[in-house]
Amino acid sequence: MEPSELKRSKDSPNLDESTRRSSFPDEVLERVLSLLKSHRDRSSVSLVCKDWYNAERWSRTHVFIGNCYSVSPEIVARRFPKIRSVTLKGKPRFSDFNLVPENWGADIHAWLVVFAAKYPFLEELRLKRMAISDESLEFLAVSFPNFKALSLLSCDGFSTNGLAAIATHCKNLTELDIQENGIDDKGGSWLSCFPESFTSLEVLNFANLSSDINFDALERLVGRCKSMRVLKLNRSVSLEQLQRLLVNAPQLAELGTGSFSEELTFRQCVELESALSNCKNMYTLSGLWDAKGIYLPALYPVCTHLTFLNLSYAALRSDELAKLLAHCPRLKRLWVLDTVEDKGLEAVGMNCPLLEELRVFPADLFDEEIIHGVTEAGFVAVSFGCPRLHYVLYFCCQMTNAAVATIVQNCPDFTHFRLCIMNPGQPDHITNEPMDEAFGAVVKTCTKLQRLSVSGRLTDLTFEYIGRYAKNLETLSVAFAGSSDWGMQCVMGGCSKLRKLEIRDCPFGNAALLSGLEKYESMRSLWMSACNVTMNGCRLLAREMPRLNVEVMKEDGSDDSQADKVYVYRSIAGPRRDAPPSVLTL
């Protein structure tokens, strides 16, 4: 139901206070609002009037906090008394690429302590880029008797001992999703900590971990958890073991295989294919570590109904990918390594007309002798065959303005356009001009664009285009680009919906930083590193805007006046008190 419909009935001019209240009791309003799931809708609802603010806060069960330092756990607990599910994001995104110092912060523990007191019935915790220790995991495991779902993405600070605590104590666990974390893998015994009586698991993802687990324990666990729908194994699980698991879990909707490369006998191949063909509900396939082309045909029965295929850990050649994709007509999302080259991407265009999302990751970053990977030709080929494409992440070694113009002409519905030309500052490889017109074409044509990552040689003209045309842009990532402050000023002045801006190695200085003075409070955060911003500029910003936290990370041996890394974010919790010595709060 639209909040506006509710608002109309409430605003009928002939009702006075008392009739209004009796014809629309709070309980009814709360019941209606409890059906609202989107946190943005809920934010809108809470702004209507005081009654609605209260009704909304009493009916909210899930809270999403995009920056853990924008608010304190006490404030959250005071406003929302009935939370059962929390999603928290911590460190700036560039911490994924080692740009944020160790011990920067975003530790979950203080939150858990408050939650244990205020939300004893907490069921779900989803963390991204947070620091979480084994002690915190143990505390979590014993403090919340109803705890059901734990998801850790790109977190660090914990080991498999913490997972053992979760497995041991969380009797009602339905989801354990461990993805891409900096985890200290001390061995696989944690999996054996699930009690034999435990049957509730629906989601198990331990692909992140490398150690061997006790396969018998896993086989029994999967066998007795009849509601399991997501199972993502780690590399240590062999093809033969996979087959044994699948025989007992044909209901799986998402599968991440283990290693896909050992020697199989003919009979084992047949058994594997047969087990997979019984998985009628499977729509997501990933893992496929070290996949050998000859075993891929075992996947064909599943491919016909696959909508998401993640081959980003399988270094396939173009012919291997082409053969596989011929069996995947319903694919909507595809992740691959650039080992498939342009020819492999041609096969994508030819076989997957329903494709909406494509991610191409670079395979070998350090080999300077071998040039391979994908070029503009591959991306263009996909755009001709996949008109519904709206999400792309593309790492390539070369690109041209003309190619990008063609691509967006074929696919005007881009919402996420993330192009990474891997050599910083590289121009159009045919005309030798900057890549300004490429991104100009993107923002002019793709009016629904929400997220943009730019690369290649770019002048301020790119940013003029972005400021003028990218009116729905929310997230912008910039590296090694721009000519002067004017570029960033265009973005700050033009992109009214901008929420996250991350910039590295660009010639933007204090004038650029300060041009966003009015804007930063409506954004989640700004990151600027290796730019021309000085400490004085940051101090001025901090002074003018007291409701922003302005943090500077200094690097060893840099000039005292340089602000090497700057992180600015809005907060109602005031400056944080847990910053390490390398982070200065102004």
Residues forming contacts to other proteins in the complex (CB under 8 A) are 94, 96-99, 154, 180-182, 185, 208, 210-211, 235, 289-290, 312-313, 315, 317, 337, 339, 361-368, 370, 395, 420, 422-427, 457-458, 477, 479-483, 504-507, 530-532, 557
For other proteins, give the closer residue by CB, 174 or 339.
Answer: 339
As measured in angstroms, the least distance from the Cβ of 466 to other proteins is 16
Selection from 404, 405, 399, 391 nearest residue 422 by Cα: 399
Cα 139 to Cα 143, 185, 441, 462: the distances in Å are 6, 20, 52, 49
As measured in angstroms, the least distance from the Cβ of 261 to other proteins is 9
As measured in angstroms, the least distance from the Cβ of 417 to other proteins is 15
- Count other C-beta atoms under 10 Å from residue 541's C-beta: 23
For other proteins, give the closer residue by CB, 79 or 429.
Answer: 429
As measured in angstroms, the least distance from the Cβ of 368 to other proteins is 5
How many CA atoms are closer than 13 Å to the CA of 147, on its beta-carbon side?
27
For other proteins, give the closer residue by CB, 56 or 464.
Answer: 464
As measured in angstroms, the least distance from the Cβ of 449 to other proteins is 19
As measured in angstroms, the least distance from the Cβ of 130 to other proteins is 15
As measured in angstroms, the least distance from the Cβ of 92 to other proteins is 12
CA distance 471 to 38: 22
Asked if residues 255 and 285 have their Cβ atoms less than 8 Å apart, the reply is yes
Please name the residues in contact with 35: beta carbons below 8 A apart, sequence gap of 6 or more: 1
- At which residue do the structure tokens 């991104």 appear? 439
For other proteins, give the closer residue by CB, 74 or 364.
Answer: 364
Chain-centroid distance of CA 210 in Å reads 22
Asked if residues 352 and 319 have their Cβ atoms less than 8 Å apart, the reply is no
Q: Is 282 helix (H, G, I), strand (E, B) or coil?
A: coil
- Judged by phi (left if over 0) then psi (alpha if -120 to 50, else beta), residue 421 lies in beta
For other proteins, give the closer residue by CB, 2 or 368.
Answer: 368
CA distance 128 to 155: 6
- At which residue do the structure tokens 């929420």 appear? 499
For other proteins, give the closer residue by CB, 393 or 402.
Answer: 393
For other proteins, give the closer residue by CB, 555 or 578.
Answer: 555
For other proteins, give the closer residue by CB, 66 or 362.
Answer: 362
- At which residue do the structure tokens 């070694």 appear? 397
As measured in angstroms, the least distance from the Cβ of 194 to other proteins is 22
**H or E element that contains 168:** helix 160-169
**H or E element that contains 164:** helix 160-169
As measured in angstroms, the least distance from the Cβ of 241 to other proteins is 18
As measured in angstroms, the least distance from the Cβ of 487 to other proteins is 10
**H or E element that contains 306:** none
Please name the residues in contact with 67: beta carbons below 8 A apart, sequence gap of 6 or more: 89, 90, 524, 525, 569, 571
**H or E element that contains 254:** strand 254-256
Selection from 258, 340, 332, 342 nearest residue 295 by Cα: 258
Cα 501 to Cα 53, 402, 452, 529, 569: the distances in Å are 30, 27, 10, 12, 11
Chain-centroid distance of CA 116 in Å reads 27
As measured in angstroms, the least distance from the Cβ of 81 to other proteins is 37
For other proteins, give the closer residue by CB, 250 or 424.
Answer: 424
For other proteins, give the closer residue by CB, 450 or 529.
Answer: 529
For other proteins, give the closer residue by CB, 251 or 484.
Answer: 484
